[in-house]
Structure formats: structure tokens, C-alpha cells
Amino acid sequence: MEVVVVESPAKAKTINKYLGPNYKVFASFGHVRDLPPKDGSVLPDEDFAMSWQVDTASNKRLKEIADAVKTADGLILATDPDREGEAISWHVLEVLAKKKVLKDKPISRVVFNAITKKAVTDAMANPREIDQPLVDAYLARRALDYLVGFNLSPVLWRKLPGARSAGRVQSVTLRLVTDRESEIERFKPEEYWSVIAHLKSEQGASFEAQLNTIDGKKTNKMTLANGEEAGSIKTALEAASFAVTSVEAKPVRRNPPPPFTTSSLQQAASAKLGFAPARTMQIAQKLYEGIDVGGETTGLITYMRTDGVQMAPEAISSSRDAIGQRFGANFVPDKPRHYETKAKNAQEAHEAIRPTDFMRAPDEVKSKLNDEQYKLYDLIWKRSIASQMESAQMERTTAEIEAKGEGRTIGLRASGTVVKFEGFLAAYTEHQDDQKKDDDDSDDDKRLPELKSGETCQKEKIDAEQHHTTPPPRYSEASLIKKMEELGIGRPSTYSATLSTLRDREYVRLEKRALVPEAKGRLVTAFLQDFFERYVEFDFTASLEEKLDKISDGSLQWKDVLRQFWDEFSAQIDSTKELRITNVLDALNERLEPLVFPVREDGSDPRICPKCGEGNLSLKLGKFGSFVGCSNYPECNFTRQLGQEGEGSADALADGPKELGADPFTEEMITLRTGRFGPYVQRGEGKEAKRAGIPKGWDVAEIDHEKALALLALPRDVGEHPETGKMISAGLGRYGPFVLHDGKYANLESAEEVFSIGLNRAVSVIADKAANPGRGRAAPAKALKELGEHPEVGGPISVKDGRYGPYVNHGKINATIPKGTDPQSIDLETAVRMIAERAEKAGKKVGGAATKKKAAPKKKPAAKKKAPAKKPAAKKPAAKKTAAKTADEA
């Protein structure tokens, strides 16, 4: 009997079916060891010795594997075909060697790019040894991430209170987001005008023509800078006669895009399907690991962490057969297409993401997939098959039209495109890039009527429109990943994990699918640019990635790369020891001037305190983070939160509370104030004064007497419940807007609803809550997502949404989902790990009740010896091991 080790239980289950009774397949559940999150895990002075730690859950699994290996004929390591997969196999092998269970047993490493019976059995027939250079590259990355995280982050904590962490890739990615925000802030819109002539051909067909020349001079978008210039052109065209001077038709061929890489899949899934990158990878993981189609579990796509764009020869042949059958022989090109990636530092070791069987069309497996799986598989299948299809053939027609009038000659141009042969467009149409939408002047969707040189055209109307240039858009997650790939920052397996880290650290937030840097994120970037500039440079990070790639192919020694990096980096860390906080603040004031000193509407100096009129404003660092304060403190106590929404209102409150008017019943003055937790309204003075916070999302500048009275009147009575006769009230609480009846709460959808909800709606919300007890929200209490049975002890695992947020549930065990993590992105493997960690902390047994330590009462000393195992530090590494592979340290 042979023991086979893979990462996930789903993968293990499928492969076990393929291999039969002579094999026993075990899942490692990802990495089995990690660097403990504490000083000393990597020792540069001891030739970069690394200390590895196995968490409790992995210990149990490794024991099971070790016990099986003792009686096995051999060990086969079949983890994923990338650097992380190689590292997992290496870790497993190292642990088993220390347990002394290998002896003289044969050990082999096999890799397969798809989980199909043929791919797996072919791999088993072609074993190899562990790829040590690939492992060395992994070790170098882990050591670098650790050294940066655990040496740079403490500098941030000392010099920049409120900062959470820094990381080798994380900080450079954050810089991309903050640089874009600074670019948007510096942008000054420019006015320009367009003039469009709506014309009709001699045959009566309408079309549009745009300005091309004025009195023989070529025009561009910015030629007409104001309404006066546009008006003169419009007047001339309204009095002009129009004649076609030339018509040119050119054939155009458009070639298909290559099949998906990790990056391009995440971008297309975001644009076409609205999937976040992390969610895309979760769904792709399931499609890769296998779906039951026709009574057999098989992988539907190849490995999804890749930057290669080429397909295997047999896959190309299969795709050409499928194209001929599904679309026709004329859609199959004479020769197969071959692609080369344009991404910086790309490695071609893996295939592109493609279907494992091109004959398995999406509509044939739709009934076997959930909605998200079907959409993603459909996208991958179409893009892959389109990559081997014939080019689209079009005819682009351009007509030049001369307009004469008012003593001027104005040239117009009308363009249009007609598709003569769909080619690959019959299968797949590319999405528009976020960065190009505003400037896309494509005429591909326009058609031009038949025009002849010399014919006259009739004027229908002339339009002159005002425009303003717009700043570059903020990055979406997908467009940021594209930029990271172009610059050579990070690798496919780390993209989504890096973005998740930035959100978890509260350095960025997602706002309408755009990444917006938080104030603390901008502070961290500014600090690093001033005092660690080299380590947030794009070229430096990319060059380091190149060195790591060279380690992978064996052309560089990993410890040589570490030594060179550490010598320079440690010296830079040492240079900050004498750095004074005042030096930091002065540098940040200058670099973040638009954020710290926003321009005032009255034109006054934004650096002068608006309260005392004498002190200078400056960035201050406090226990709870950064803020702007007056240099005349404590005589002047003006403060303003950095990056606070509605900053103008904060300035308005600089002279103290703003009076809104008297309460009509108590005659006490109602004031608008700002405090430690933000703006609020208050009635009266003293400790007993009634206060109410301003709901999130409300513009403080719009708070008036009426709104303040409404806030202070909360909770408000909605009416008596028709069945119980007890009063229903509505208010704002710690967990948001709610209705209350008979001591039980039910959440509302928005703060505005608190003031408008009627009795019927309130009764309905309460009824929903009563029908679904245990929920903190009014929505039905069904699970957000069913993940399946626990692979070890059985029983359903699901993702639920509770009063304190989303969580994973298995029996009586609930594991909270970390803040910033999409509940829909949780898969079975991640959930099983979370359940195991939660059960261990709570002293419970997975699949049962609390563990009873029967031996403890009889052997008290033994119970005391177990106490050290409860140290928090021993539990933290487990939380970092996700299906997304590695992320930056700290």
C-alpha cells in the first residue's frame, strides 16, 4: 500500500477514487508548518536559520500520515504543481523524517496540472524528486517576508502610533493605491468642447460626423477650449453645405486574446461577473479539485495559479476539434495559435487556465454546478476555446466630409465598423478595462451607411457639448492586480491575499468596487517613502522578485540573496533609532499636505488654526492614531480627525459647539459637537445632557435643528403590536438601526428607516425575527452558504450571519469569520480549519460536546504541565494558512 499526500480533503477524496485500494490518500490541509509570529524565527546571524512550528491541528494530521507511512510500501507527495505545493511536500517530508518513519521507504514527488483520472495516473507513472531550487525560493520568500515584517513593523509602532504593519509586497501594493489617490487630488479638470454633426445621406440614412480639421489644421479633443470657440464652429456648420470628399474601407483582423492566467481571470471575472478576486479563486479551486459529473468526480479546469498563457499540445488539438464541431470548420485556423506572456517576470512553467475537456461544454454541465461555478466555468471555457479560433474579420470604413460656410472650411470624419466574419467573437468578447472606459473612442459598435465620394449630405442638427477632463479612476481589485502583474510585484498565488491583508489592516476600504486608501494607509506609505524609500520602490521590489525567480531555476543561491538584502535593510533599520517624532511629523506634513491641510473655501491659510487664529496646525500622533491639532495646545484645544469625512464641518466646529436652536419643550439649547468618537448632537449641558451620535454616512454639514431633534427623540414609539398590545419602538444602537418589541430586537436596513418605519413594516420585521430566533438581523436566518459534510467526523458545515457578524458553523461550534473577509469566499477546507482552531480554544471536540479531561482530577501535576500549551502565540500561525497560499508577514 502506498501513502499519497495532497493538500485538500476534496482533492484527496477524488484522487483516492482514481487510484484504487492499493493507495491511501491523506490531506495536509495546506501548510503543516509555519514560522512562529515572534522574534527569533529567522536568525540572520546564524546563517538565516529558520524555526518552524506545527500547530495542534496539523500535528494530528501529521501523526495520522506518519502512522500510515510506518506500514506503507512507499510515500508519494502529490501536492500542487507550484512553489507552495513543492514547499508543502518538503515540510511533510521533513516532519516525517524527524519522526523516523521513512527508513528506506521509496519517496517520490508527482505533479499534475489537472485532477482527472488520466492526468493523475500519468503523473503516478512519471515520479520525480523534490525540486530543491523551488523549495529554496519558497524559503527565501518566507525569510524575506518575515525579516521585513518583524523588523519594519516595530519601527512603525514606535514612530507612527496607530500603524498596524508593513510588508515586502503589501507596502508596495499600498503605495500604488495611495499614489493614485494623490494623483486624483492633484488633478485639475480642464474644460473642452465637442462638436458633432448629425447628417443624412442621399439615401436618407442618418449618421454622425465629428470634427477633424478647422481651416486645414488638425484638431484634437482639447482644441475647442471654451463655449465661445465651440459656438463659432457650431454657427459655421449650421450655415454650411456638406459633401463627402472620400470614402475608404479597410479590412481589419482582430486576433483573440490568450487563455486566462490567474491575473486575467480575476480581472475578467470582476468585470463580467462582479466577482471579487478572492471569490474567483475560491470558485476556481472547487472547479479544479473536482465536480461530480455523470457519477464521477473530475476536475473541470486546470490549475488556477499560473502566469503561463500556453496550452499543452493535446489541449490545443482537443480545442480545435471542439471548435470544428460546435462552430464549424471555417472557425478553425490553419495553424494552432501560440502565445507568449507580456507580464514582467512571468514564468512559463504552468499551462494557462483551461477546461480539462473542451468537449465538456458549459451547457452540458450546468445542472451539476451552482450558479457561480457555472458562470466561471462558462467564462473559462469560452475564453480558452476562443484563443484557438479564427480571427474576427471586419471592415472599417472612414468617410471624410467637407463643410463650407461662413467663410470657413471645416473637415468632419465619420467612421464605422462592420463585422464580416465573427471568428472568435462568436465565443468570447473581451471586457473593457477600468482604466480605458472613459477614453475609449472605439467605433467598433458603430455602423456607417453606404456613402459615395462626391455625394452631398443634409444637415439634421449640430450639437456642441461641454466636457471636463476627469482624473484617473481609483483602482479596483482587478485593475490593481493587473498593475501588480505588469510591474512584477508579487506572484499569482499572493495577489488576493495581499489585497485582503490591506483591508484587514484597515489601510484601504472597498467603496463601490473601488479601493480607497484610509488615512492610516496614507500615513504608512508616506512614512515609508520618506524613511524607507528603497523598499517601496517598484523597480526594487520587481528586481527582488527576479532574484527569487533565479533561485527557482537554480541560478542563484537563496542565502546569498538574503545576505545581500539583510546587510542593507538592517542598516536602514538601525538608522531610524535616533529618528525623532518631530522629524517624522515635519516630513509627513509636507508629503501629505492635501490631506492634512485641505484648501478652505474662503481662501484662508489652511495651516493656520481656525479656532485661535494664531497657532499653526500640524499632524499629531495620539494613542488612538493620527489627527490634526493646534501648536498652541493646551491654550487652544482645536483638533480634527485626519481624513475625516465632511472635514469642512469639522472646521465649522473649531470654535466650539455649534448652536442649532432650542428644544421646543425643555427650552434647552441643542448643539452640534465633535468628540473622540466623532460628531454628535447634545441637548443642554453637563453630565446628564442628552446626546445622540450622527449616524454613519450622514453629512455633518447638513445636520440642522430638525434633524437634531429627531436624533435626540430616539428611540421613537412606532405603535402597539396588534397581537400583544405592547409598544414597538425604533432606534439606533451599537449594532445599527433596530426595532424593539417585548425586549427583543430586530435590525433594520438603514438609519433613515428608523424615522419613517410604520406599524405594518415593523410588525413584519419582528415576525421575521421571531420565525428565525438567534439572529441579530431581520433577514431570514437561513445559512448564507452550505459547504458540505465535515470530511473527518461528518455533519454539515455552513456559513451563517449572526448578530456579531458572519461565522462558520458545525454542530455546536461557531468560528467567527475575520473582519474584511467575504463570507462567500469561505470554502470547505478553510471552514474545517477554522472549526478545528475554534474547538481547540474552547476545549471542545469537533463533532461532539466539550472535551472532558478525566485524568485531570487524579493527576493534578500533569494538568499543570499542560498549561503552557495554551499560550496564544502557539495558535496564531494556524490562522494564516489559507487556500490563498502566502501573504506578507506581520
Taking all residues of the chain, what is their mean pLDDT, rounded to a whole number?
85
Q: 815: which 3 cell numbers?
A: 468560528
| Tens digit of each residue's pLDDT (9 = 90 or more) over 349-386 | 578 999 999 999 999 999 999 999 999 999 999 999 99
Query: Which of 107-116, 614-623, 765-774, 782-791 is modeled with the greatest confidence?
Result: 107-116
Annotate 676-733 with DSSP letters as a single string.
TTEEEEEESSSTT-EEEEPPTT--GGG--HHHHHHHHT-SEEEEE-TTT-PEEEEEEE
CA distance readout (Å), 783 to 777, 786, 799: 13, 7, 6
Whole-angstrom distance, CA of residue 101 vs CA of residue 114: 30
Kindly report the CA angle at 873 between 167 and 29, in degrees rounded to 5? 80
Question: Please, are residues 635 and 641 in contact by the beta-carbon 8 Å criterion?
Answer: no
H or E segment and range at residue 465:
strand 456-468
Query: Which of 426-435, 694-703, 862-871 is modeled with the greatest confidence?
Result: 694-703
Q: 697: which 3 cell numbers?
A: 454616512
| Tens digit of each residue's pLDDT (9 = 90 or more) over 290-321 | 998 877 889 999 999 998 899 999 999 999 99
H or E segment and range at residue 805:
strand 805-810
Task: Give 688 or 72, the one with higher predicted confidence.
Answer: 72
Task: Give 202 or 877, the one with higher predicted confidence.
Answer: 202
Whole-angstrom distance, CA of residue 98 vs CA of residue 32: 14
Count of CA atoms in the C-beta half-sphere (13 A) of 811:
19
Residue 819 has pLDDT above 60, yes or no: yes
- Residue 827 has a pLDDT of 79
- Residue 873 has a pLDDT of 40
Question: Please, are residues 687 and 694 in contact by the beta-carbon 8 Å criterion?
Answer: no
- Residue 848 has a pLDDT of 54
Residue 519 has pLDDT above 90, yes or no: no
pLDDT band at 803 (very low <50, low <70, confident <90, very high): low
Residue 441 has pLDDT above 70, yes or no: no
pLDDT band at 115 (very low <50, low <70, confident <90, very high): very high
Sheet holding 2-6, edge to edge: 23-27, 2-6, 74-77, 107-109
State the helix-helix crossing angle for 495-504 and 277-289, rounded to 10 degrees.
Answer: 140
- Nearest alpha carbon to residue 152 among 679, 579, 528, 706: 528
Residue 747 has pLDDT above 90, yes or no: no
- Nearest alpha carbon to residue 291 among 300, 283, 280, 279: 300
| Tens digit of each residue's pLDDT (9 = 90 or more) over 620-650 | 876 556 788 888 888 887 877 775 543 444 4
Helices marked H in 713-797: 751-756, 759-771
The arithmetic mean of pLDDT across residues 153-158, rounded, is 84
Q: 314: which 3 cell numbers?
A: 493535446
Residue 804 has pLDDT above 80, yes or no: no
H or E segment and range at residue 269:
none
Task: Give 707 or 437, the one with higher predicted confidence.
Answer: 707
Q: Which of 18, 146, 288, 303 is catalytic?
A: 303
The arithmetic mean of pLDDT across residues 508-517, rounded, is 90
pLDDT band at 444 (very low <50, low <70, confident <90, very high): low
CA distance readout (Å), 570 to 151, 391, 535, 541, 621: 8, 54, 12, 17, 26
Q: How far apart are the first and last CA of the chain?
A: 42
Q: 796: which 3 cell numbers?
A: 454539515
State the maximum Cα–Cα separation within the chain, in Å, rounded to a whole number.
110
- Taking each continuous run of H as one helix and of E as one strand, the counts in the chain are 26, 32
- Beta strands 74-77 and 2-6: pairing type? parallel
H or E segment and range at residue 3:
strand 2-6
Question: Please, are residues 275 and 269 in contact by the beta-carbon 8 Å criterion?
Answer: yes
- Residue 511 has a pLDDT of 86
- Residue 434 has a pLDDT of 47
Q: Any catalytic annotation for residue 18?
A: no
What is residue 597's three-state secondary structure? coil
- Residue 25 has a pLDDT of 95
Beta-carbon count within 10 A of 101 CB: 18
Question: Please, are residues 108 and 5 in contact by the beta-carbon 8 Å criterion?
Answer: no
Whole-angstrom distance, CA of residue 213 vs CA of residue 400: 10
Whole-angstrom distance, CA of residue 576 vs CA of residue 594: 26
For residue 552, what are the contacts with CB-CB under 8 A and spacing of at least 6? 83, 133, 134, 136, 137, 347
The arithmetic mean of pLDDT across residues 61-87, rounded, is 93
Q: What is the pTM of this model?
A: 0.73
| Tens digit of each residue's pLDDT (9 = 90 or more) over 202-258 | 999 999 999 999 999 999 999 999 999 999 999 999 999 999 999 999 999 999 999
Whole-angstrom distance, CA of residue 129 vs CA of residue 740: 65
